[in-house]
Structure 1
């Protein structure tokens, strides 16, 4: 529900300076907006049907309006809490329901990999099995991240699961893969520059201690 306020004010949660947001809300938008339309029609219909019963009318109106807010809240959470890639790592999220932090040093590979979860898991927004965490949107994932070490995913009610492979959906899957690879390349360059500076520093100290003959 807090995401509705962020959505109205056009703000996003957890996207800092130097970080790139990877959206995933577009795939589920048609379905959720369809639910909103159905709920709105149902609210109007129930209002007319219960016009002669004031108590029941107000109870049902409150429930219907709350349902509308909840459905919009799911979309708002997806819009305002995107996946994020930055200099330190990759953050995979599913609205307010799931948050996975993956340090760049644990990423072995990332690739575009369009998949449709099996029937028994397609209806769930995040499912972990055999060390693979699937964060599907509209019953699909398109980015697969292989890890060198497992990471811990925290769900809404505090449940924790570990995964060595994370699959998630992004509206621009290939661009998301490119952004992660760019972050990995930049980190590798920074490490190499750091090693060169350390080597020059050690060489310099070595020269200072040499006694001329």
Structure 2
């Protein structure tokens, strides 16, 4: 039992370190104006805009705090060094979270929809498994806000941004979501946010209809006409 617990602990540590590396790398991709995991021909569905003002506001507050603490501790170099490291890390963490959301948008491909929450979580949904998708603006009333924590309840996954979701996807069959620390759960309903939610809904519907049409043609054995 101890060996199993040690293995689980080790896996969680590796996942946390990988997450740490991903949001740090996102700062580089952000400066370079690059996006991660958006192949040619796929459509990016951004969602970071909803939390941008809050992220930049928090970063500004922490920068001001860093300056204030530095002035207060200027006669205590050891404490000043420790506080400075912690304050700089906090500023980078806030900016890294925003950078991860910007550089890792949702991605609509020809066969699946990749729903992401920055570097924290991602879920790949086969388009063939989507029963319906709709614009559905919801504000979370449970006291949680910010970038979202991937809360799941009774087969439902919510990836809230700034305390809200705006797109609801209902599935014909459950899909498995893997949380940040490795826990696996099955969901049938996925709620997420997109900056252009109505446009995202229209794009996903069109892609789902195209997949269904192609499958129908294949089942009838009809030749597929290019274009």
Q: Give the alignment partner of residue 42 of structure 2, picking from 2, 8, 19.
A: 19
Q: How far, CA to CA, are the matches of 1:110 and 1:6 in structure 2? A: 31
Paired residue for 2:132?
Answer: 109
For these two proteins, the number of residue pairs brought into alignment is 199
Alpha-carbon RMSD: 1.6
Larger Rg: 1
Contact 1:96/1:156 (8 A) holds in 2: no
Q: How far, CA to CA, are the matches of 1:199 and 1:9 in structure 2? A: 46
Q: Give the alignment partner of residue 211 of structure 2, picking from 184, 187, 198.
A: 187
Distance 1:43 1:110, change over 3 A: same
Q: How far, CA to CA, are the matches of 2:70 and 2:143 in structure 1? A: 38
Q: How far, CA to CA, are the matches of 1:121 and 1:47 in structure 2? A: 32
Q: How far, CA to CA, are the matches of 1:12 and 1:159 in structure 2? A: 27
Distance 1:51 1:84, change over 3 A: same
Deviation at 1:88, TM superposition (A): 1.0
Paired residue for 2:150?
Answer: 126
Paired residue for 1:51?
Answer: 74
For 2:74, what is the secondary structure of its paired residue?
Answer: coil
Superposition misfits of 4+ residues, deviation over 2 angstroms: 120-125, 188-196
Contact 1:78/1:94 (8 A) holds in 2: yes
Q: Give the alignment partner of residue 39 of structure 1, picking from 35, 58, 62.
A: 62
For 2:55, what is the secondary structure of its paired residue?
Answer: helix
Deviation at 1:126, TM superposition (A): 1.5
What are the superposed Cα offsets for residues 83-121 of structure 1, whole Å, 9 maximum, x if unpaired? 111101111110111111100110001010111223155
What are the superposed Cα offsets for residues 45-79 of structure 1, whole Å, 9 maximum, x if unpaired? 11111111111111111111111111100000100
Q: Give the alignment partner of residue 193 of structure 2, picking from 169, 183, 188.
A: 169
TM-score by length of 2: 0.83
What are the superposed Cα offsets for residues 164-184 of structure 1, whole Å, 9 maximum, x if unpaired? 010111101000001101111
Paired residue for 1:3?
Answer: 26
For 1:12, what is the secondary structure of its paired residue?
Answer: coil
Paired residue for 2:18?
Answer: none
Q: How far, CA to CA, are the matches of 1:157 and 1:73 in structure 2? A: 19
